[in-house]
């Protein structure tokens, strides 16, 4: 398995900086919301792909009974090492794996979780297909490019730089940004069933005009549109 140039950004001390600076600001506040989507009833196996330094993995480990196997993967071994060193409240299987070619059998997990990474992948379609191949249902979170503050930046002629999108255009891992409307159309066209959608801005749930007023989206989905 090769580490591509854009994944190399997370090596060495970068993974520690990521864990100490970005995770508390960007990802930790939403980890619990992701875990809340999972119903513990009848769960046996949960997979997290692109787990990074393990912020969601730690929340999964705290919330799910020890009888549920948690497998957490990332392409970058240094990120996994940082995650494993941070520790979890119960055992987790850490494994290096490419989200675009998951080394698991069909239907081998109840849920597959992908947090804050869809926008940094080169081919979201392959990843969504892989998630629904190895798992019964999936959960993704991503920053909503349609959020009004982002639209204001664009209207002013600039790429957005904000709490949820903290990178400058010339130095960003985010190569596939999308809006909530884009993601819903993507699912509709591929007959991916949306089980539930939660939209948040600064931790508060947004129900009114979510594609305009929501900064972050959490989608729970499964195979087969109604």
Footprint on this chain of ligand SAM (rule: CB under 6 A): 7, 10, 23, 27, 49-52, 55-56, 74-76, 79, 98-100, 115-117, 120
What are φ and ψ of residue 25, in 5° steps? -75, -50
How far is 207 from 212, CA to CA, in rounded Å? 11
Nearer to ligand SAM, 148 or 167 (CB): 167
| Shortest separation between residue 221's beta carbon and ligand SAM, angstroms | 17
Nearer to ligand SAM, 98 or 137 (CB): 98
| Shortest separation between residue 123's beta carbon and ligand SAM, angstroms | 9
Residue nearest to ligand SAM according to CB distances in the complex: 52
| Shortest separation between residue 48's beta carbon and ligand SAM, angstroms | 7
| Shortest separation between residue 120's beta carbon and ligand SAM, angstroms | 5
């Amino acid at each position: 398995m090769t580490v591509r140039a854009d994944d190399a950004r997370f090596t060495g001390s970068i993974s520690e900086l990521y864990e100490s600076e970005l995770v508390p600001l960007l990802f930790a506040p939403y980890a619990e919301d992701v875990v809340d989507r999972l119903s513990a009833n009848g769960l046996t196996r949960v997979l997290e792909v692109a787990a990074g330094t393990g912020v969601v993995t730690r929340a999964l480990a705290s919330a799910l009974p020890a009888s549920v196997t948690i497998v957490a993967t990332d392409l970058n071994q240094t990120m996994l090492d940082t995650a494993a060193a941070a520790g979890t409240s119960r055992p987790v299987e850490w494994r290096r794996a490419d989200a675009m070619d998951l080394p698991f059998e069909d239907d081998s997990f109840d849920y597959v979780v992908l947090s804050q990474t869809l926008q940094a992948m080169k081919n979201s379609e392959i990843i969504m297909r892989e998630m629904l191949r190895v798992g019964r249902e999936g959960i993704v979170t991503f920053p909503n490019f349609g959020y009004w503050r982002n639209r204001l930046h664009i209207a002013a002629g600039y790429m957005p730089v904000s709490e949820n999108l903290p990178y400058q255009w010339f130095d960003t891992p985010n190569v596939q940004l999308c809006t909530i409307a884009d993601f819903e159309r993507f699912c509709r066209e591929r007959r991916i069933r949306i089980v539930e959608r939660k939209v948040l801005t600064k931790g508060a749930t947004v129900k009114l005009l979510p594609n305009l007023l929501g900064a972050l989206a959490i989608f729970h989905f499964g195979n087969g549109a109604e």
